[in-house]
């Protein structure tokens, strides 16, 4: 049985009843750790590593900022990762939002983006692990993502070395929340099966 770890996006919270989680459950077990997306990089990393430490052969799946953390944990575990509408450069996203207040639509909690949060991502490289990681990620994009421009995401991926490769599936339309999870299930299953065979 596959063990998926689903990581929510910025200013959200874990929800075992979300549509993405429900659909992933058709492919295996799904664990849904939560993290404070306003916290500093090291704090988030420490907490997530503790949360997933007992999960056998995890497959990390994340949306937006959660996709970034799926990449980071994938590097640590040498594990597969599925990145949905990924935020690839958090520092560039956080920096112009310093001082902005947000209300979490799931918890109702108000929080503010701080300088400490933005600065903590400054040393984090873009997909740096891909040069020596055993697994390459599966990337799922909605072309009409209204928060993260999918064309810019593809451009960022193209800036990597020529030997870095990805499995990328783009879907016409959609949005930042990713409207094509049902259509993407076959790709996720094929990708994870390939990863199992390559171990």
**Segments making up each domain of the chain, as ranges:** 2-198
pLDDT of 134 reads 63
pLDDT tens for 97-121 read 999 999 998 899 999 999 999 999 9
Q: Are 3 and 193 in contact (CB under 8 A)?
A: no
CA angle at 7 for the pair 2 and 13, rounded to the nearest 5°: 130
Phi then psi dihedrals of residue 62, to 5 deg? -145, 155
β-strand 138-142 against 110-112: which pairing, if any?
unpaired
pLDDT of 61 reads 98
Please give the Cα distance from 41 to 119 (Å, whole number): 9
Burial class (CB in 10 A: 0-12, 13-18, 19+), 199: exposed
Say which DSSP state 129 is in.
G
Q: First vs last Cα of the chain: how many Å apart? A: 16
Rg (CA), the chain: 16
pLDDT of 129 reads 47
CATH of domain 2-198: 3.40.50.1820
pLDDT of 151 reads 83
Q: Which residue ranges of the chain lie beneath pLDDT 50?
A: 129, 161
């Amino acid at each position: 049985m596959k063990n998926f770890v689903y990581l929510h996006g910025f200013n959200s919270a874990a929800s075992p009843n979300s549509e993405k989680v429900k659909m992933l459950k058709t492919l295996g077990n799904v664990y849904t750790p939560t993290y404070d997306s306003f916290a500093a990089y090291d704090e988030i990393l420490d907490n997530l590593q503790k949360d997933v430490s007992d999960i056998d052969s995890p497959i990390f799946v994340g949306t937006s900022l959660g996709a970034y953390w799926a990449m980071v944990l994938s590097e640590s575990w040498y594990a597969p990762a599925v990145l949905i509408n990924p935020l690839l450069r958090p520092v560039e996203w956080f920096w112009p939002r310093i001082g902005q207040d947000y209300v979490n639509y799931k918890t109702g909690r108000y929080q503010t983006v701080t300088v400490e949060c933005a600065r903590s991502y400054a040393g984090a490289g873009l997909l740096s692990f891909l040069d020596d990681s055993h697994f390459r990620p599966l990337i799922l994009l909605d072309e009409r993502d209204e928060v993260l421009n999918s064309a810019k995401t593809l451009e960022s991926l193209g800036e990597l070395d020529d030997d870095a490769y990805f499995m990328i599936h783009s879907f016409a339309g959609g949005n930042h929340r990713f409207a094509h999870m049902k259509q993407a299930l076959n790709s996720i299953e094929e990708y994870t099966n390939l990863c199992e065979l390559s171990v």
